[in-house]
Amino acid sequence: MTHPESAFDIGILGAPFDTAVSYRPGARFGPRAIRAGSSRQTSFRGFNPRANLNPYTSWAKIVDCGDIPITPFDNGLALRQMSEAFKELGNRAPTAEKLASSTSYLHKPKLLTLGGDHSIALPALRALKQIYQQPIAVVHFDAHLDTWHPAKYPSAWIDPEDPSTQSFFNHGSMFWFAATEGLIANGSSVHAGLRTRLSGDDAEDYADDSQQGWVQISTDDIDDMGVKGIIQSIMDRVGTETPVYLSIDIDVIDPGMAPGTGTPEPGGWTTRELIRILRGIEGLNVVGADIVEVSPAYDGAAETTALAAAQVAYEVLTSIVRKGLMEQAKGPKGHNRDEL
């Protein structure tokens, strides 16, 4: 990360930040835990049978860029540090070999960020909008909405007299900020895996969320729609052309399978269901992704949450690499090369 001349196609980036959480801290150690959980992921045993490729030996140069140096003492400074890191790395040139490619998907490197709490999505989206010069669709896997106005939190936590106060920046309101800043493609974004409690005495939170342009897929929907139905709903909503930020809060998985997270909600999807859905949406135009809210202090001795997050990272990497191969096969203008 400290060598600006280094080129890569996919960068793994740690964001050890958790001072914007509303409940249990500890996600600052998430990048370390996910890397440990990925110890068995090696290039010589990395072939993914479902995709018929090894993401570590295909076209993409994958580099672990290390962790962003983030202060734990000042969230305003931390937000700036993360924003600068995402912008610098996201504007890097891809590998020299790929610069000659006429396939637009390969012209910008992709960042997979290991959190950290979920607030890291805000600086990532700010950077992506600047890089791609347009709002970004978000496919958000989470038990929670994360689109709450900061005033929805207890008044003792915020300064209502100053809406610019740093206390408004938290891991449940970053998509509210992103929507108000025009970072998110309104009408093309999806929540999946929701089972959150709401504020107040009615479903006003859902109405506010819909006004921001989100479609809500609850955890329970999988019982009626099945995995294929969830996949189809996401693909119908987002499509394959719009740039997408894939944001995966590990608490979308049931805490019985992924207990190491800061805001656990019982009744979630299984690890297998999440992975099947991620495989099914690999046609999305993913330009950035995160895996957040892994808090190893609450994990068990078997490190099941970190292992689940590492497997999710492997599947996301596989899908990005496979998408690149598919785009290469289409040729310079979206045509199949056999037709040129």
Domains and CATH numbers, the chain: 10-339 (3.40.800.10)
Count the residues in the chain: 340
22 falls in which pLDDT band (50, 70, 90)?
confident
pLDDT at 298: 97
pLDDT at 105: 83
Q: Per-residue pLDDT tens for 198-239?
A: 777 777 787 888 888 899 999 999 999 999 999 999 999 999
Of 34-38, 70-74, 94-98, least confident by mean pLDDT is: 94-98
Under 8 Å between Cβ of 81 and 69: yes
What's the rounded mean pLDDT across residues 167-186? 89
To which residue do tokens 């939170």 refer?
A: 205
pLDDT at 1: 56
**Which own/partner contact pairs does 324-330 have at CB distance under 8 Å and 24+ positions apart?**
324/9, 324/58, 324/59, 324/60, 324/103, 324/105, 324/106, 325/53, 325/58, 325/59, 326/283, 327/103, 327/104, 327/105, 327/106, 328/59, 328/101, 328/103, 328/106, 330/103
Cα dihedral sign for 72, 83, 292, 175?
positive
pLDDT at 88: 95
pLDDT at 36: 96
Q: How far apart are CA 11 and CA 66, in angstroms?
A: 9
154 falls in which pLDDT band (50, 70, 90)?
low
pLDDT at 340: 34
Mean of all residue pLDDT scores within the chain: 90
pLDDT at 148 over 70: yes
102 falls in which pLDDT band (50, 70, 90)?
low
Of residues 262 and 160, which shows the higher confidence score?
262
pLDDT at 21: 92
Q: How far apart are CA 193 and CA 207, in angstroms?
A: 17
pLDDT at 98 over 70: no
Q: How far apart are CA 260 and CA 312, in angstroms?
A: 15
Under 8 Å between Cβ of 20 and 171: yes
pLDDT at 334 over 70: no
pLDDT at 76 over 50: yes
337 falls in which pLDDT band (50, 70, 90)?
very low
Q: How far apart are CA 13 and CA 82, in angstroms?
A: 11
Q: How far apart are CA 78 and CA 70, in angstroms?
A: 5
Q: Is 162 exposed, middle or buried (0-12, 13-18, 19+ CB in 10 A)?
A: exposed
